Structure 1
Amino acid sequence: MIQFIENMGVQHAVNIHGDKSHPPLLLLHGFTGTMETWQPFIDQWSKRFYTIQIDIVGHGETISPDDVSYYAMDHEAASIIRLLDKLEVSTTHIVGYSMGGRLALYLKYAYPHRVDHVLLESSSPGLDSESEREKRRKSDHQLAVRLQKESIESFVDFWENIPLFHTQKRLSNRAQLKIRKERCSQQGGRLSLSLMGMGTGQQVNLWPYLPKIHHLFLVTGTLDSKFMNINRKMYEMLPNTKWFSMKNVGHAVHIEVPSLFSRLVYDRFYNEIKGNTGQENKNSKKMFTELESEDIK
């Protein structure tokens, strides 16, 4: 059942499942998504985790002012930490997809004693040059203006056809309609503020900090060449990380191969947590693995 928790001017929509004695697992969706994207996994994951789903500011049922400062990543991160305080969660693990992964990595960087293991699905540490960030800010601004002027349905027509999501055309009609319904449930003005406050061009460059960040778990799809390249560079810089790449899968791994993704979190990510919680585990070795659906039972 969804509840609302207010912190720093934002009322986050929150849904919690599982036993509080289990490891906490904060679930962060992507741009134009909601907490609903994780719902198919909750029955299984809540057997081992205390799952915390939220709608990130600007999305879903979360309520926030029409002021871009409330949508900045540092503000949202601080608000989430206070939310965890109210839930009496001292340390959490996180699964974050795309934009949610960028937020998860920022939380790990800014609040290292509050965040332990983080699974980043098709995500990045931001852009590593000011020229790239400026170019992206201009691009995000154009999208933000589009969201303010067009209907949400018109924007979704455009958004679902960008190259990043081309592999989702292989999904069943039912699955595609479910994704579209979730996207169309948004408010264009709030998505616009999200882009201006938390877009990749606005994000702190976290690349220089990667060598000191432990307990990251990378997940990508081999057909998502952009994020394969980003994560390859991340893998080279990160200490002791695990990188799982899903064969013949695109950007939204959890949507395209849900059973594989579910077992990856339920088994391998959970086992990593149970083996390393509270430790840097500096003697652990890096590992890159390509997986197909039959590789995890």
Structure 2
Amino acid sequence: MNRRIEIGTATVEFSDEAPSALSSQTPARDPVVLLHGFTGSKESWRDLREQLRTDRRVISIDLPGHGGTRVGIDVENYSIERAAAMAIRLLTDVLAVPRFSLLGYSMGGRLALFIALNYGAHINRLVLESASPGLADSADRAARRHADAELAAFAESAGIEAFVKRWESIPLFESMARMPAEKIDRLRRERLGCCVEELARSLRGMGTGVQPWLGDELPALRMPILAIAGALDPKFTAIGEQMAALAGDARFEAIDGAGHAPHLERPREFNCIVTDFLNGKRQK
């Protein structure tokens, strides 16, 4: 069920799905919260959401700059710190969900990691798909801020169709061209439905170059962690392996035949690995 809530000056849109197949013999598992990537929305998780909600509550949030969530025009409202505080307030104060498992993809994965580090008492299990802890080097962060600012300016001047065409052409998404045409069209419609001004604010406020470096804090994490990436995405495979090595109770999984978006490119394998992890099943 899609819902819209006012939190302070922000309007937050999200999907809140109750378990669909519970009985007295199958008690509900802990809720899971899903955080999408850049140019996505709560609808990015429709396949995984249906699988998970058989025995648990599933909450998918539109992040600032995406879907139906609106936080104003101040770029500070799009920061990872504000986004994390907004998500925690929604979950704990509004929805009365004090503890939950958390899954984030790409941009949403960076946010999920930030939430786990700063609000860890609320997190049971953490899944990081094609995510990173940011950039350790200040020069790299500055270069990324410059690149994201240029991309944001292009989006504002060229419009959503030109922006989506440019975004889809970057090498990171090359393997997604192998997906079925129907899925590619659905993803493109989702991207074209974005507000280009909102995407520009998201790039400026929550891009990798403006978020704090989180890598040194990884050993402090105490919850079970699954880092996951596509085997065709060597950059995020290496990052995922490094994060899993630094965090305490963590492991890494690479999905064959997938690039940056395993949940879209290999949904059956991805959904099974994630479901087993959230259910506490041990790696074979």
Give the structure-2-normalised TM-score. 0.93
* Kept in 2: contact 1:3–1:13 (CA 8 A): yes
Q: Shift of the alpha carbon at 1:21?
A: 4.5
Alpha-carbon displacement from aligned partner over 1:217-254 (angstroms, at most 9, x marks no partner) = 11111110110121222222121212111112101000
| Alpha-carbon spacing, 1:207–1:139, altered in 2? closer, same or farther (3 Å) | same
**Aligned match of 2:32 in 10, 16, 25?**
25
* Kept in 1: contact 2:28–2:55 (CA 8 A): no
Aligned counterparts of 2:85 and 2:41: Cα–Cα separation in 1: 20
Q: Which residue of 2 aligns with 1:135?
A: 143
Q: Shift of the alpha carbon at 1:158?
A: 0.6
- Tell whether 2:12 aligns with 1:3: no
* Kept in 2: contact 1:22–1:48 (CA 8 A): yes
**For structure 1, which segment, 19-28 or 154-163, has the greater mean C-alpha deviation from structure 2 after superposition?**
19-28
Aligned residues: 275
- Tell whether 2:273 aligns with 1:253: no
Alpha-carbon displacement from aligned partner over 1:162-199 (angstroms, at most 9, x marks no partner) = 00000011111111111100000001100000011100
For 1:232-271, what aligned pairs fall within 5 Å after superposition?
232-271=241-280
For 1:212-251, what aligned pairs fall within 5 Å after superposition?
212-214=220-222, 215-251=224-260
- Tell whether 2:70 aligns with 1:58: no
Counterpart amino acid of 2:14? Answer: V
Give the structure-1-normalised TM-score. 0.89
Q: Which residue of 2 aligns with 1:91?
A: 99
Counterpart amino acid of 1:240? Answer: D
**Aligned match of 1:160 in 168, 176, 181?**
168
| 5+ residue gaps, structure 1 | 276-286, 290-297
Task: Give the aligned CA root-mean-square deviation in angstroms.
Answer: 1.6
Aligned counterparts of 1:123 and 1:48: Cα–Cα separation in 2: 27
Aligned counterparts of 1:2 and 1:209: Cα–Cα separation in 2: 35
Q: Shift of the alpha carbon at 1:47?
A: 1.2
| 5+ residue gaps, structure 2 | 20-26
**Aligned match of 1:73 in 56, 72, 80?**
80
Q: Which residue of 2 aligns with 1:124?
A: 132
DSSP 3-state at the match of 2:131: coil
Q: Shift of the alpha carbon at 1:23?
A: 0.7
| Alpha-carbon spacing, 1:117–1:105, altered in 2? closer, same or farther (3 Å) | same
Aligned counterparts of 1:112 and 1:42: Cα–Cα separation in 2: 23
- Aligned-pair identity in percent equals 36
